[in-house]
Structure 1
Amino acid sequence: MATRQVGRVGLPLMNIVRMKGVPILQQLEIEECLLRTSSDNWCIINDGTDKPNIVMGVSGKPAELLEISPVLEDRIPVIRRFTGGGTVIVDDGTIFVSFICNKEAVPDVQPYPRPIMSWSSLLYSKVFQGTTDFRLRENDYVFGLRKFGGNAQSITKNRWIHHTSFLWDYKTRNMSYLKLPKRTPEYRLARDHLDFICPMKDYLSRSDFINKTIDAAGSHFSVKSSEFDALKLRSNSKFTPTSRLLTKQELEAAAIKSCE
């Protein structure tokens, strides 16, 4: 595929990598490697993942967040990722977008969670321009009072990653694997998952969303397309990622703890 470069001269360069159906654990491993071993700016877009997975933040506790018995019975993989944030279940209806940036590439953004979230919401406001009541509420992207995008971050000395799981669509059954967490956004108002979230497909198509995201990135960066195979080659074979699958034994121990 020919290299496509857009954006104004003088803007920092950002590599755009478009993927489809890449397993979410592989994506997380690549992103952590790029965050910690690369000096380039990246936007990783993965249109769906290969099968349902539950992804928890780095400090997430399965006993508090998951209905562990059905998770075990249905053999749903559970991943602890390297970033913070909450717990999501992802599948082929999820679109993932990650920005990995050098601090000096976005000098007006202080390298702390809230300023990074505010920056990202301004970028996505261009994507959803004309769409009903898009906004950032606490740490979520919402239409009105219903969430369709969850965010997580990791900040290092010179770089940061901001990644989002967008619910283009979801399967009702998958939401039953998640407990209502003890700490929730105020705007949730104790609503269950199905009353709290909404699918993005009611507002725009997958391709429109992805193309508009790339165009919005082009207003902040000089954007260059990169191939997924080239991205894999850049991965440092000596780097050991910290995102990992939880073992069956860990989940069974958490199930016992949740019954205590």
Structure 2
Amino acid sequence: MAVNLGFYSKISSRLIQFVCVFCIVKLIANSFLTPIENLAFEESYFESFNEETLRLWQSTDSVVVGKHQNALAESNFTFCRENNIPVIRRISGGGTVFHDIGNINFSFYRFVNASSQINYQNNLDIIVDLLKTLGYKVMINERHDLTLDGYKISGNAQHVRKGRALHHGTILYDSNTDRLNQAIKRKTGQFEDKAVRSVRSQVINLRNAKDHGPAPSFFQLLVNTAKSKFDHIESVDKIDSALLNKYGSDEWNLGYGPMYSFRNQEDGIELEMQVKRGGEIVSIKLSDDFLNGQLQHFVGLKHHFESISNHIINSNTLSKHADLLIKILF
């Protein structure tokens, strides 16, 4: 009987490749108290890692936008501000995600050739293997999202620079989907820009399919499962202080986005505003003549909440209209 050696050779090659992917990866499992610290660590470690690494981590409530997105357009900024949910920009591209303790994050740090991008499939095979070990029949779709029964449980993004690649993504285990939907869906105003838009998908929590207890218990179970597959495990917590300042600043989180026009309406008053890249307001027009005259002083200011709100509150005239102006401007 003839044997198709080519078939077995391909299977063997894929098995060897998969095993080697596990062998070369170092595991770290560290989570910081704030989203700013978690995102700052991502970039800090990216700039300094000397071994290919998988990081597993959790973060508290935050909206995390892609590098080339308009943060105000991708978030319900008013809801986030009222609920102390920071809106933070990451260094990778892609769309907006919501982090909370019910969401587990993974980050792969890889070395790549100058001409190549990161291999999503190899990395996601590792995550799929971990989740299948825990009883979840997770699949990888054509967009490299992880899905369960057709619903999205994970999205991914990457950043490549000088032979280094960061590939990170989410795993929805027990995320507060109501809070998620409120935080990332803007309800008022219209933006016109050339920013990257998020692709919204129907999502599901893994806990709905199989319950491994509360999110901290699942996270530890996932870490323990990963530990059984990796020999090199470390604890790393060093963060460049300059990056902490960067991820806590409006200059990065709001100002890095593209130029845009913004239209909004509140209590019968209409707003039209032009903002250039970096966040500086270049023109502003309100249908109310009195307020329109007062707000001409905002030309040249940054369309950042702290900057604008401070000017409103510190003005004897504008402070009387503070609630209206904050709503219409953001």
- Establish whether residue 124 from structure 1 lines up as the match of residue 127 from structure 2: yes
- Which TM-score applies when normalising by structure 1? 0.71
1:177-216 Cα deviation digits (max 9, x unpaired): 212895527xx4xxxxxxx111122345314433334445
Q: Structure 2 CA distance, aligned partners of 1:73 and 1:10?
A: 44
Q: Structure 2 CA distance, aligned partners of 1:134 and 1:13?
A: 24
Q: Structure 2 CA distance, aligned partners of 1:52 and 1:117?
A: 26
1:60 Cα deviation from its structure 2 partner: 1.4
1:71 corresponding residue in structure 2: 80
2:89 corresponding residue in structure 1: 80
Q: In the TM superposition, what are the counterparts of 1:130-145 in structure 2 within 5 Å?
A: 131-145=136-150
Q: Structure 2 CA distance, aligned partners of 1:10 and 1:60?
A: 32
Instruction: Work out whether residues 64 and 96 of structure 2, in 8 Å CA contact, stay in contact via their aligned partners in 1.
Output: yes
1:209 corresponding residue in structure 2: 222
Distance verdict in 2 for CA 1:142–1:244, change over 3 Å: same
1:17 Cα deviation from its structure 2 partner: 1.4
1:240 Cα deviation from its structure 2 partner: 4.5
2:29 corresponding residue in structure 1: 18
1:59-102 Cα deviation digits (max 9, x unpaired): 11123211222223223211011111211111111111111112
Identity across matched positions, percent:
18
1:103-159 Cα deviation digits (max 9, x unpaired): 37xxxxx8325xx22222222232233633522341311113211112121112221
- Establish whether residue 38 from structure 1 lines up as the match of residue 49 from structure 2: yes
1:55 Cα deviation from its structure 2 partner: 0.6
2:107 corresponding residue in structure 1: 98
Alignment-mate amino acid for residue 64 of structure 2: V
2:185 to 172, 179, 188: 179
Q: Structure 2 CA distance, aligned partners of 1:84 and 1:100?
A: 15
Instruction: Work out whether residues 83 and 154 of structure 1, in 8 Å CA contact, stay in contact via their aligned partners in 2.
Output: yes
Q: Structure 1 CA distance, aligned partners of 2:48 and 2:88?
A: 22
Give SS of 1:100's match: strand
Instruction: Work out whether residues 44 and 98 of structure 1, in 8 Å CA contact, stay in contact via their aligned partners in 2.
Output: yes
1:197 corresponding residue in structure 2: 203
The alignment covers a number of residue pairs equal to 223
Q: Structure 2 CA distance, aligned partners of 1:210 and 1:156?
A: 28
| Worse overlay, 8-17 or 123-132 | 8-17
Give SS of 1:175's match: helix
- Which TM-score applies when normalising by structure 2? 0.57
Distance verdict in 2 for CA 1:137–1:210, change over 3 Å: farther
Alignment-mate amino acid for residue 210 of structure 1: V
Q: Structure 2 CA distance, aligned partners of 1:11 and 1:120?
A: 9
Alignment-mate amino acid for residue 184 of structure 1: V
2:232 corresponding residue in structure 1: 224
Q: Structure 1 CA distance, aligned partners of 2:183 and 2:129?
A: 33
Structure 1, unaligned stretches of length 5 or more?
A: 1-7, 105-109, 189-195
Question: Aligned Cα RMSD in Å?
Answer: 3.5
Q: Structure 2 CA distance, aligned partners of 1:245 and 1:81?
A: 12
2:155 corresponding residue in structure 1: 150
Q: Structure 2 CA distance, aligned partners of 1:11 and 1:167?
A: 23
1:27 corresponding residue in structure 2: 38
Q: Structure 2 CA distance, aligned partners of 1:31 and 1:75?
A: 22
Give SS of 1:83's match: coil
- Structure with larger RCO (C-alpha < 8 A, sep 6+): 1
